Homo-oligomer: A and B are copies of this chain.
Amino acid sequence: MRVLITGGAGFLGSHVASYFADNGHEVTVFDQNPVDGNFKTIIGDLTKATDVAAAVKGNDTVVHIGAIGDVYLAGEQPALASAVNVVGSANIAEAALEQGCRVVYASTWEVYGEPEYQPMDEKHPTNPDHPYNITKLAGERILMAASELRGLPVVALRLGTAFGSGLRPNSVFRIFIDRAKAGEPITVQGGGTQGRQFTHARDISRAFLMAAESGISGGVYNTTAPEVTSIKELAELVVSRFPTELTFGPARAGDVPAASVSAVKIEEELGWKAEVPFEEGLDELIATLE
């Protein structure tokens, strides 16, 4: 397929771009930043309809990952997150309708908010409470409305917290590893009992390809690894590899409470399940930081 990967210069996008290319697809990256790699790259702004339309032209699939994906930046600049994550998704929908493209959207498990039952399946109510997950859900819904009302083929993947090589320096993984390697103390915020279904970027990339190749339209799928790892456990795993002091601090605004998410639907309907064990992914990440 000829696939445009928005945000393809970012952490997750670059994994997905490589995965599609490795599987024989013709990849174009759309990003605000230049990308390292062998991909055709279009530099542009998701909030500009003309940039998006020009980038989508000539493709048959759009994997829409481009977003303000840094939760702290989204919290500081909600208008920017709204523009990129909502207006940007609306621009993608229009361009894809115009070109007859299929869209696979990178949504997030964080759309659910406070759990009403667990594990949370796709029918769980959505109560996002932070500019990041609010705008990611609105982007998902704008695309789903284009699917339902105007026939755009769309699949949305509500991703677990992604990890792998190339993570941002302000991710909890990088903060813990970088500090521990430097012999500095690691601070776990808010007690660290909040669990995360950390999902490896390679597993997520495979889910995007399966969704892109499926004939499904209008589907929303939790795309999470089954293992739940608390932040405290992550810290302990890092400290077991790079011994240093472990301390505990207050919770940060925007931190999402513990919750477990069911990925039964995507296994049943797309045949996807996570394959990378958490500790293996962690060691692989650490190896890339040597």
Contacts and interface: CB of A to CB of B under 8 A. Distances in A.
A175 interface: no
B134 A145 contact: yes
Interface string A78-108: 1101110011011101100000000000000
Interface in A13-66: 49
B86 A135 contact: yes
Given A79-B87, A82-B138, A138-B138, A148 B129 contact: yes
Contacts of A126: 125-127
A88 to B, nearest CB: 9
Interface size grouping (class) on chain A: 35 or more
A114 to B, nearest CB: 12
A82 B78 contact: no
A128 interface: yes
Given A86-B135, A135-B142, 4 more contacts: A79-B91, A81-B90, A82-B82, A137-B138
15 contacts: A79-B87, A82-B87, A82-B138, A83-B83, A86-B87, A86-B135, A86-B138, A125-B125, A125-B126, A126-B126, A128-B141, A129-B145, A130-B149, A131-B145, A149-B253
